[in-house]
Amino acid sequence: MIVEIPYPESVPDLFETISDLPWPVFLDSAGLGRYDILAAAPFATLVTKNGRTEISDRSGNTLSMEDPFDLLRKMLLPLERENPLPFMGGAIGYFGYDLGLALNGIDSMGKEIDFPDLVMGIYDWAIVVDHLEKTTHLAANCRDPETRRIWKELLARLSSPAKHPRKEAFRLTGKIEAAPPFDEYGIAFAKIKGYITSGDCYQANLAQRFQAPYTGDPWTLYRALRKASPAPYSAYFSNPHCRILSASPERFLELRGSRVQTEPIKGTRPRSIDPMEDARLAQSLAESPKDRAENLMIVDLLRNDLGKVCATGTVRVEKLFEIEHFASVHHMVSTISGHLDASHDAISLLKSTFPGGSITGAPKIRAMEIIEELEPFRRGPYCGAMARIGFDGNMDSSIMIRTLAASGNKINLWAGGGIVADSERDAEYQEIRHKANVLLSLMESTLPSC
């Protein structure tokens, strides 16, 4: 079923009309892409933690020790012909970075984690906003019998949005604490340089976590975030386990039919309000031998990852070392594509390449082992993937960088950078601050004045 509804003046306002329903999710192009996708009230959910998946649907709850990727595939079958809209139902949610430890045979250090490894809703209906055509459609797959029963109610809700109670503004209730602090970051940095010198790895990504207590509704912070740092793969996802507020600039994997595309980011410079200085910074990134070498390492890693599931001879580099401009930083971006082998699908593509190489290092498994050894926290959603996988088999996903995640009364932000042989400690530490600056400033702006 597909019904056209009014094109909204504000997509966030439209999202608020469904945000009181369970598990609301907003895949937000933030004015930089063609489509926004909104959904809520999934008819089934999957939540994985410590190797165990809880499956909830209309019949109740069950627990499974089966591979969560296989469980998700079963929830999406049978696949259907391609739909006229980019999404007409399917899975939306996140795959946490730590899910990749088991996938790649890496022993976990057992650090505490507040977030599940996988949180996925199976949605039967979605709202698709097309900013090119200036149209909006409510579309449903109708795998869930409940959809037909509530269809008129949904249309009424969306066609004449009611005023919802004002949400309590997000605010921090304590200071932001960084882990590791600068001196401990320096120790970890030195260990990575030692591993590189000894030939253990060529590059490893080292991150820092910023955490603070908060009160209020994170949605109000997200609305501010999308204005301050618009990004093409932004997302807001609310569920009983956490809130995800992402302003990601980085696509992980897109699958349309058999065509696969990935767009890794490696290389960063801050923006400047002075146009000449801003142009100089972008040019210095474009011409940097270090950043080009770092980017090329990840391109080679991803070519290898795609080669596991793509037809022989189809993987190629479409763009190399392109400079893209975002609200607070310039990034160096490359594009790799391929054609998925007929024996694979979106799930096996994701499983074979997860987590993305741009946020691990090279070689991937050794870099992940080093990250697990040196970072004093679980990454959780950070550096995992926010994804939508349709009942038609198509997929789009982002790397969850520039992402805030709230659980309990704590909100978390992570930022990191790839360390290579000629990296300098202070410069790498400053790069983390450049990446986190907009989000940290937004959080700090909510602290009550003395």
Classify residue 40 by burial, with Cβ atoms within 10 Å: 0-12, 13-18, 19+.
Answer: buried
How far is 3 from 223, CA to CA, in rounded Å?
Answer: 27
What are the residues whose beta carbons fall under 8 Å from the beta carbon of 231, sequence distance 6 or more?
30, 32, 246, 247, 248, 249, 326, 327, 402
How far is 152 from 19, CA to CA, in rounded Å?
Answer: 18
The pTM of this model reads 0.94
Distance of CA 447 to the CA centre of its chain: 27
Q: Read off the pLDDT band of 312 (50, 70, 90).
A: very high
- What's the domain range around 57? 2-444
The answer to whether 175 is a known catalytic residue is no
> For position 160, what pLDDT does the model report?
72
> For position 436, what pLDDT does the model report?
92
How far is 316 from 128, CA to CA, in rounded Å?
Answer: 31
> For position 163, what pLDDT does the model report?
64
- Predicted confidence (pLDDT) at residue 450 exceeds the cutoff of 70: no
- Mean of all residue pLDDT scores within the chain: 93
Backbone angles phi, psi at 235, to 5 degrees: -160, 145
What would the two tokens of residue 28 be?
Answer: 């937000």
Percent pLDDT > 70 in the chain is 98
Percent pLDDT > 90 in the chain is 85
Side chain identity, residue 374: L
Residue 449 domain flag: no
CATH of the domain at 392: 3.60.120.10
Q: Which of 86-95, 230-239, 286-295, 342-351 has the lowest mean pLDDT?
A: 286-295
Quick one: which of 128, 115, 157 has its CA closest to 377? 115
Count of beta carbons in the 10 Å neighbourhood of residue 50: 8
- Parallel/antiparallel/unpaired status of strands 233-239 and 242-248: antiparallel
Residue 230 domain flag: yes
What are the residues whose beta carbons fall under 8 Å from the beta carbon of 104, sequence distance 6 or more?
364, 365, 368
Quick one: which of 427, 243, 226, 268 has its CA closest to 358? 268
User: Which H helix or E strand runs over 22?
Assistant: none
How far is 400 from 255, CA to CA, in rounded Å?
Answer: 18
Residue 186 domain flag: yes
Count Cα neighbours of 231 within 13 Å in the Cβ-side half-sphere.
32
Count Cα neighbours of 278 within 13 Å in the Cβ-side half-sphere.
12
Which tens digits make up the pLDDT trace of 130-148?
Answer: 999 999 999 999 999 999 9
Residue 185 domain flag: yes
Which tens digits make up the pLDDT trace of 49-84?
Answer: 988 999 999 999 999 999 999 999 999 998 887 788
Distance of CA 360 to the CA centre of its chain: 15
How far is 132 from 312, CA to CA, in rounded Å?
Answer: 36
> For position 449, what pLDDT does the model report?
64
Residue 415 domain flag: yes
Identified catalytic residue from 16, 193, 250, 294: 250
Which tens digits make up the pLDDT trace of 369-398?
Answer: 999 999 999 999 999 999 999 999 999 999
* Total residues belonging to the chain: 450
> For position 230, what pLDDT does the model report?
92
The answer to whether 250 is a known catalytic residue is yes
Identified catalytic residue from 266, 351, 364, 435: 266
What would the two tokens of residue 402 be?
Answer: 């520039």
Q: Read off the pLDDT band of 267 (50, 70, 90).
A: confident
> For position 250, what pLDDT does the model report?
94
> How many domains does the chain divide into?
1
Count of beta carbons in the 10 Å neighbourhood of residue 433: 13
Residue 401 domain flag: yes
Residue 450 domain flag: no
Break the chain down into helix, strand, coil percent, rounded to 5.
30, 35, 35
Q: Read off the pLDDT band of 112 (50, 70, 90).
A: confident
> For position 414, what pLDDT does the model report?
96
